[in-house]
Structure 1
Amino acid sequence: MALIGNSDLDVFRLNLGGNPFGWTADEQTSFAILDTFAEAGANFVDTSDSYTASAPGNSGGESETIIGKWLTDRGLHEDIVVATKVSRHPDFPGLKAENIAAAAEASLRRLQTDHIDLYYAHFDDPDTPLEETLGAFDSLVTAGKVRYLGISNYTPDRIREWLRIVDDNGYARPVALQPHYNLVHRNSYEPELASIATENNLGVFPYFALASGFLTGKYRTRADLEGSPRARLTGGYFNDAGLAVVTELSKIADAHDSEPATVALAWLLTRPGVTAPIASVSRAEQLPAVLDAPNLVLSSDELDRLDHVSAAVQA
């Protein structure tokens, strides 16, 4: 377990991604995943109000709705830490003050709760003054509707501006950062965001921690991807450098009688600032590989090998 930044949120060191819920996992399957996750002693679920609006027949909020039903049905609202996000729901795009307020109310209804544990700005909104956005977030914290705030998909300069504005105005400081970061996509976090996170005690929760399944070793050829809903997301990793990372992961996993996914997540847990990687599964039987990551200790030689092969990847 680990505290998120300067908050009192004590979370398991694997953050369950809720994006498959209502997309590649129906409600029954999602409940089975969440049950297995909680039974293992894990307690941190990540979602967004926009998950998964892009799926056929969806309109956004499906993941939050399923999580809310599960929390209420199982009586676990006080035991599970839930993070969600704002700015990309089709009905609530952007980060204007009135939009944030309305989107938060909609998320609270779907999650069937009176407060959001961790509320992220999902993507920057260059058309709205940052002062307006941060004032709206602070109002939610002051009202008790949000406990803590997080930042996702912002540039280093914009994060520095965010921190300056909240300090100048006495607003609630962010406690979390959610960047795109994994063994085949390192440059957007290293080194600048990593420095900002460690200097400001921001808990870091990398998304696409398994590169949309590529780092599980499941996909070794493009033919393996045919018919997969993740084909669009993983296709760019199929090159010699990307496959070399998967090969090294598999070698290390075999040495530990483990899985490539476990090794990939364990590597992330050694990186500066990282509190818990975000990993998603579409079936409950896929969970053990990700839940084992916090317990897997990689040797310095193994970490060096992974650093070496991943440094060659440009993604």
Structure 2
Amino acid sequence: MEYRRLGRAGLKLSVLSYGTWVTFSDQMDSAAARECLEVARQAGVNFFDSAEVYGNGRSESVLGAAIEDLGWSRETYVLSTKLYWGIHDEVNLRRTLNRKYLLHAIDGCLTRLRTGFVDLLFCHRPDPDTTVEEIVWTMSDIIGAGKALYWGTSKWSASEVRAAWSIADRYGLRKPVVEQPEYNLFTTRWVDEEYHALVSELGIGLTTWSPLASGMLTGKYRDGVSSRSRAALAGHESFLGKLTDGDSARQVDELSVVAADLGCTTAQLAIAWCAANKTVSTVITGASDPLQLRQNLDAVAVVPLLSEEVMARISRIFRHRQS
């Protein structure tokens, strides 16, 4: 496993990490979660990502209980969670980053995760109703209280991240050090265009998610959507349109030919392609069972096989611009 710095921060993350979005929320019990976490650790994964809203807190609860049962030393792994959506149907506690919400919510997250602090705390979306100054001051205060070590954003625009960074710099507060965007062969704009200057000028790290585009890049949806798939779960119907798109399916078929030539699975090639981008600090993977997770994590061995010729071949399939 390769370990990369989180932008200019000193923290190092495994280039492949494990996220708990759908799996720990809807598809997995504590025993299965422990098994997957053990597989991840054995492969060298040191970063585990969650969010308050995943399963309305269930994901954090399952993750925290599993880690506690495994008896891992807290200093040996990196843990993150995200705040914005909220899990209580009350004014000031949903879809906000106001100070009241953030200070209440972080305590709930830590209780569910069974830890005294998270390493990374993300603002899960921008909040147009709360000033950037209030958000930055509060996130800095959370770090000052020892409840988080670093903070960052998820799906903020580059201008919003830059505004937060500038306010923190002006007042000597904790700066955002990380952004968490979607990144895969179908979705490249955020990493390759939107955040390019943030990485090069401000040293923002990128913890990217959905390397398999909700499973589309595994090729498993050629014959339809299984009832066990996340796309079939209540609340995830938005995946279906992407999964049944004919042009996308053709591109995945062509990618599978490249994967076969390299002696790997289509999923491993898609994950390796994301990891091959050195501006990415870590690629967050997800899996609903230990075998699938082990296969996904084996993508680290595919990265060295991605020559310029192979990368150009993939770019032609997905019509990416060549740098």
Is the contact made by 1:214 and 1:234 (CA closer than 8 Å) also made in structure 2? no
Name the counterpart of 1:166. 168
Match of 1:182 in 2: 184
2:255 corresponds to which of 249, 261, 271: 249
Q: Name structure 2 gaps, 5 residues minimum.
A: none
Deviations 1:80-127 (A, max 9, x none): 211110011222321001111111111111111111100000011111
Structure 1 unaligned spans of 5+: 53-59
- The CA deviation at 1:190 is 2.9
Give the 3-state SS of the residue equivalent to 1:61 in structure 2.
helix
**Which residue of structure 1 lines up, in the alignment, with residue 9 of structure 2?**
7
Which residue of 300, 309, 320 corresponds with 1:301? 309
* Match of residue 152, structure 1, among 151, 154, 166: 154
Q: Distance in 2 between matches of 1:287 and 1:228?
A: 15
Q: Which amino acid aligns with 1:309?
A: I
Matched position secondary structure for 2:9:
coil
Query: 2:259, 2:320 → 1: CA distance?
Result: 20
CA contact (8 A) 1:68 1:111 kept: yes
2:112 counterpart SS class = helix
Partner-residue secondary structure (3-state), 1:195: helix
Is 2:60 aligned against 1:64?
yes
Structure-2 residue corresponding to 1:57: none
Residues 161 and 176 of structure 2 are in contact (CA less than 8 Å); yes or no, is this contact kept in structure 1?
A: no
Structure 1 stretches of 4+ with a deviation exceeding 6 A read none
Structure-to-structure mapping, 1:1-315, within 5 angstroms: 1-19=3-21, 20-52=23-55, 60-76=56-72, 77-91=74-88, 92-93=93-94, 94-221=96-223, 223-225=224-226, 228-231=229-232, 232=237, 233-271=239-277, 273-296=279-302, 297=304, 298-311=306-319
C-alpha RMSD of matched pairs (Å): 1.8
Amino acid at match of 1:228: S
With normalisation by structure 1, the TM-score equals 0.91
| 1:21 aligned counterpart, secondary structure | helix
TM-score for both structures, normalised by structure 2: 0.89
Partner of 1:56: none
Partners of 2:194 and 2:128 in 1: CA distance: 21
Deviation of 1:37 (Å): 0.9
Measure the CA separation in 2 of the matches of 1:111 and 1:227. 27
Report if aligned partners of 2:30, 2:66 keep a CA contact under 8 Å in 1. Answer: no
Q: Give the conservation status (yes or no) of the 8 Å contact 1:241–1:310.
A: no
Offset of 1:7 from its aligned partner?
A: 2.6
* CA distance in structure 1 between the aligned counterparts of 2:292 and 2:194, rounded to whole angstroms: 33
